[in-house]
Amino acid sequence: MGYCTGMKILLTLTIFIAAWLFTGSSYAQQVDSSKLVIGDIVTIHSRILGEDRKIRIYTPAFSTFEKFPGQALPVLYLTDGDALSGIVSEEVDYLSTSYLYLPPMIIVGITNYDHNRMKDLTPSRPEGGFDGNRDTSAFGGGEKFLQFISSEVMPYVESHYKTEPFKIFVGHSLGGLLAFHCLVNHPEMFNAYIAVSPSLWWDSGLVVGQADKKLTDRLKNKFLFFSDANEGGELHHEVLAMDTLLRKKNIGGLMYKYVGYPDERHGSEPIKAIYDALRFLYPQWYSAVEDSTATLVGKHFAHLSEIYGYRVLPPEFVVASRGSRILQMGGAKVDDAIGFFELNVANYPASAKAYAMLADAWEKKGDKGKAIDNYKKASALDPGNADLQRKWQVLEQGK
């Protein structure tokens, strides 16, 4: 497909999405333009940690999440949420809404800077102390912190939001160290791990040694992305050692990628690395525009369901846009359009819009009976819509 054709299709899809979301019809969601709210800051009293902790929960700014309140979303858990939540949520929103490169997500940023970050994010206490300080009581709380996430943060998120079982863990620096520790010692806790400049040098490379011993079994459908910048020294040495170890082991079921960013510093790297990690995790989320039949789209999302371990539904507005584009071609293409609209009805049986678009297609095909039946179903789901009622009444009178 040529560049101009591709851009034309992308522009058509973008216009359709905008019309879907912001049209003044009865299906439109009313948007309060006076404020922008994309997340909540909540305080959890942790019995495990013995203190209050703030977490920042970001839901998609795109109205997909609000338009379909029953839609469950994967969850990305992030250490150093004080510093990184805004960056990560913006990257996810941009990639998932502007160009449909990945699914919308819930971002859970767990704060560490207001507390003992070194204790939260280090999984062990080095013998002989650290950095000239022989008192190791301020280190080694990583296991307890992971328990806090699994036993208190996750249950809170899953009880207050619609979530899919797919979970992503993101950490930078010491947070990256904890991400690796979790993968090695508790691989079942998350489905994907993103470790940006992980401090694998901690405690004489303890986690690298653990990985050598423990990462022997197959890790079915696990993802790992890790990286480093121009830090050099022990950090770079241990990151390379981990990459060498993983390449040597060639662990079945673990899909991983290591990327170096020699032109970035420790603090600037997360912006690039997390973006690249998300693109690695979702190399092809939505099916190609060339998939011009509902069967092909269905197969694509069935394949995604196998990869990510939960049922992935093609978004209603994407399927509707393809059906609408094909319906405009008329002729024999009407049947292909009907296939798309029937796919939406099957996946979103509570959507009046799905039935209404299917009814429109049957009416264009000339099957008044099926058009009336689907208009009535749409009207039952949206009883206040006089236009839907009028459509099936007019068709019945003309039979």
pLDDT one-digit tens code per residue, 164-187? 999 999 999 999 999 999 999 999
pLDDT of residue 115: 73
8 Å CB contact between 143 and 189: no
CA dist list (Å): 6 to 3, 20, 77: 5, 21, 34
> For the chain, which residues score pLDDT lower than 70?
1-38, 61-70, 98-99, 129, 131-135, 288-291, 399
Instruction: Let me know whether 277 and 306 are in one domain.
Output: no
| Residues 290, 95: Cα–Cα separation, whole Å | 20
* pLDDT for the residue numbered 185: 96
Residues 44 and 164 in one domain: yes
Q: What is the pLDDT of residue 78?
A: 97
Decide: helix, strand or coil at residue 57. strand
* CB neighbours of residue 217 within 10 Å: 10
Which of 251, 281, 311 delimits the end of a domain?
281
The verdict on residue 94 lying in a domain is yes
Residue 209 structural domain: 37-127+137-281
Tell me, what's the pLDDT at 2?
Answer: 43
pLDDT at 291: 63
Residue 133's pLDDT is 67
Asked, for residue 143, whether it belongs to a domain, the answer is yes
Query: Do residues 92 and 204 both lie within one domain?
Result: yes
113, 80 Cβ separation under 8 angstroms? yes
Whether 334 and 223 map to the same domain: the answer is no
pLDDT of residue 198: 98
| Short-list 85, 64, 23, 11, CA closest to 317 | 64
- Are residue 328 and residue 269 in the same domain, yes or no? no
Cβ atoms of 225 and 256 within 8 Å: the answer is: yes
Question: Distance between CA atoms of 116 and 119, rounded to whole angstroms?
Answer: 5
Do 348 and 305 fall within a single domain? yes
pTM surpassing 0.95? no
pLDDT reported for residue 134 = 63
Tally DSSP H helices, then E strands, for the chain: 16, 8
Q: What's the number of domains the chain is made of?
A: 2
